[in-house]
Amino acid sequence: MPTTKKQPDFFRNAIQLGLMAAEANAVIAMRLWGMAGIWSVTKSENDRMVSEKVQAAAQSLVAANRSVMAGKSPDQVVAAAIKPVRRKTRANSERLAKRGPKFSQS
């Protein structure tokens, strides 16, 4: 019986990157609206916006390095690198969307 190699899953990585980009754009918009007083955000949102980048980048780098050291294929390395960043963009998008726009109390 012939063995079949698993084909790289570039499509799944492209989908994950697309979703991450869309979520990141939504997060940027909601944070900018928050700075303008249009979106309801916490006072710590600006600090969080900066500090989370370092943490997500470090987690991504560690995940990619572990995949490389384990001998994973390039598409698996990319998938591992995307996962921590996508987790953060998804969480931020959901968290900020729940807060909603800020309506004046007139």
Contact 16, 5 (CB under 8 A): no
Q: What is the pLDDT of residue 67?
A: 98
Pairwise CA distance, residues 89 & 96, whole Å = 10
Q: What is the pLDDT of residue 53?
A: 92
Low-confidence spans in the chain with pLDDT less than 50: none
Q: What is the pLDDT of residue 3?
A: 57
Contact 53, 32 (CB under 8 A): no
Q: What is the pLDDT of residue 8?
A: 79
Q: What is the pLDDT of residue 2?
A: 58
pTM of the model: 0.84
